[in-house]
């Protein structure tokens, strides 16, 4: 577990409380957990452009607890990286509570992934299969609550919906009764991938909850985020692919501004981002502002210096 610019003692820079933010009545703009992508450098970038709350990529709690190597590679933060939620894949209450205690000094809370539909995750008992195991979810929440002494440390869940929405509402009510801080709802079932998001379902879930609810699914602009917020009556919106394509989205930009690309280069190089990740983010950011021929050339570049030369030549960056 690496902490750039923070001591390995308890971090005091957790002043923005996400629970308070979600009770403020204002739209809370959230960067989703994204495997490989929502790491420290990208979180730093989106915070610069209006993002209020960031999640780490999903981390397997068992590996995190058992392996120092996993902790060092999976979790990096610094003083400005807040408020921050660490998302875990877990199916064991004791291992999850151990993982929560490890990250507690460096984060505002943890999130239990109950929404990942990938086959490997569900085969391991992680992700979306947990929406059918409300008692296990309750047990994990209880164990974390008992093990983490900080009463302001949040415990949230991110879910998908059932075909029968009454089952989803039952799950959410049980989670709320156990002490979950908020629930993020991706408005699709486990089987759905690119079908339209069921915002009406998210609205119904919100109407049945007393705790905050965050809406997630197919939000590509600030205007869309505001529309979904109003339609669903939720307390925040979470964005994944929309932010990959345009990290300045929450600041109101319709496409990635050149200044944002420059900021990414500065942040990524300063934090030592591996080349593949550095380049992949740029490919996403430049999708809308490059021609097919330009994409072919840019996507084939194989070094940081080649990328910098290309951007200097074509965009004066």
pLDDT tens digits for 143-188? 999 999 999 999 999 999 999 999 999 999 999 999 999 999 999 9
Please tell me whether residues 122 and 25 are part of one structural domain.
yes
Tokens 């923005």 found at: 16
Cα distance between residue 160 and residue 171, in whole Å: 11
The residue from 116, 129, 172, 260 that is catalytic is 116
Tell me whether residue 7 is in a domain: no
In this structure, are residues 126 and 80 in contact, taking their beta carbons and an 8 Å threshold? no
Tell me whether residue 5 is in a domain: no
116 is catalytic: yes
Please tell me whether residues 239 and 305 are part of one structural domain.
no
Tell me whether residue 134 is in a domain: yes
Cα distance between residue 197 and residue 193, in whole Å: 9
pLDDT above 80 (res 84): yes
Please tell me whether residues 267 and 224 are part of one structural domain.
no
| Mean pLDDT, rounded, for 65-91 | 95
* Domain end point (choices 225, 246, 267): 246
Tokens 């400005």 found at: 80
Q: Each residue of 220-259: pLDDT tens digit? A: 999 999 999 999 999 999 999 999 999 999 999 999 999 9
**Does 121 carry a binding-site annotation?**
no
Identify the band that residue 316 occupies on the pLDDT scale cut at 50, 70 and 90.
confident
Tell me whether residue 307 is in a domain: yes
Tell me whether residue 2 is in a domain: no
Please tell me whether residues 221 and 275 are part of one structural domain.
no
Cα distance between residue 212 and residue 293, in whole Å: 46
Please tell me whether residues 214 and 101 are part of one structural domain.
yes
**Does 186 carry a binding-site annotation?**
yes
Tell me whether residue 89 is in a domain: yes
* Domain end point (choices 212, 246, 280): 246
Residue 61 corresponds to which tokens in the numbers above? Answer: 């709690």
Please tell me whether residues 185 and 205 are part of one structural domain.
yes
Which range is least confidently modeled, 4-8, 237-241, 273-277? 4-8
- SS3 for 164? coil
**Does 241 carry a binding-site annotation?**
yes
Dihedral in degrees, nearest 10, Cα atoms 2, 251, 298, 240: 60
pLDDT above 60 (res 5): no
Please tell me whether residues 175 and 214 are part of one structural domain.
yes
Tell me whether residue 124 is in a domain: yes
pLDDT above 80 (res 1): no
* Domain end point (choices 193, 217, 246): 246
Please tell me whether residues 42 and 149 are part of one structural domain.
yes
Domain of residue 40, residue span: 18-246
Please tell me whether residues 22 and 170 are part of one structural domain.
yes
Tell me whether residue 8 is in a domain: no
**Does 28 carry a binding-site annotation?**
no
The pair phi, psi for residue 76, each rounded to 5°, is -130, 135
Please tell me whether residues 278 and 228 are part of one structural domain.
no
Give pTM, 2 decimals: 0.94
The pair phi, psi for residue 6, each rounded to 5°, is -125, 145
Residue 189 corresponds to which tokens in the numbers above? Answer: 């079932």
Dihedral in degrees, nearest 10, Cα atoms 286, 291, 294, 295: 60
Please tell me whether residues 49 and 129 are part of one structural domain.
yes
What local confidence, expressed as pLDDT, does residue 193 receive? 85
Rounded to a whole number of angstroms, the CA Rg of the chain reads: 19
Q: Each residue of 102-159: pLDDT tens digit? A: 999 999 999 999 999 999 999 999 999 999 999 999 999 999 999 999 999 999 999 9
- Residue 87's CATH number: 3.20.20.70
Residue-wise over 172-185: b if at least 16 C-beta within 10 A, else e? beebbebebbbbbb
Please tell me whether residues 207 and 263 are part of one structural domain.
no
Count of structural domains, the chain: 2
List all residues 6 or more positions away from 122 whose beta carbon is below 8 Å from its beta carbon: 116, 128, 129, 190
**Does 66 carry a binding-site annotation?**
no
| Mean pLDDT, rounded, for 5-25 | 67
The pair phi, psi for residue 113, each rounded to 5°, is -75, 110
What local confidence, expressed as pLDDT, does residue 233 receive? 98
């Amino acid at each position: 577990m690496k902490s750039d610019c923070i001591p390995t003692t308890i971090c005091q820079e957790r002043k923005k409380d996400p629970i308070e933010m979600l009770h403020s009545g204002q739209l809370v703009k959230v960067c989703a957990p994204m495997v490989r992508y929502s790491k420290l450098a990208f979180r730093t970038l989106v915070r610069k452009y209006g993002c209020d709350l960031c999640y780490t990529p999903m981390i397997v709690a068992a590996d995190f607890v058992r392996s120092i190597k996993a902790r060092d590679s999976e979790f990096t933060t610094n003083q400005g990286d807040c408020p921050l939620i660490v998302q875990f894949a877990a199916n064991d209450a004791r291992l999850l509570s151990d993982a929560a205690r490890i990250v507690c000094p460096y984060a505002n809370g943890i999130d239990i992934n109950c929404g990942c539909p990938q086959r490997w995750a569900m085969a391991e008992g992680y992700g979306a299969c947990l929406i059918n195991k409300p008692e296990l979810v309750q047990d994990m929440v209880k164990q974390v609550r008992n093990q983490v002494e900080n009463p302001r440390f949040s415990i949230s869940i991110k879910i998908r919906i059932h075909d029968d929405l009454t089952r989803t509402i039952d799950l959410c009510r049980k989670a709320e009764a156990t002490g979950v801080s908020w629930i993020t709802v991706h408005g699709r079932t486990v089987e759905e991938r690119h079908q339209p998001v069921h915002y009406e379902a998210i609205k119904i879930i919100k109407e049945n909850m007393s705790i905050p609810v965050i809406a997630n699914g197919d939000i590509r602009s600030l205007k869309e985020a505001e529309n979904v917020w109003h339609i669903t009556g939720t307390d925040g919106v979470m964005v994944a692919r929309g932010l990959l394509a345009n990290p300045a989205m929450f600041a109101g930009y319709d496409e990635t501004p050149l200044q944002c690309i420059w900021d990414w280069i500065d942040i990524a190089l300063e934090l030592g981002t591996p080349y593949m990740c550095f380049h992949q983010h740029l490919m996403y950011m430049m999708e809308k502002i490059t021609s097919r021929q330009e994409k072919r050339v840019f996507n084939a570049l194989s070094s940081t210096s080649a990328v910098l030369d290309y951007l200097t030549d074509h965009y004066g960056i």
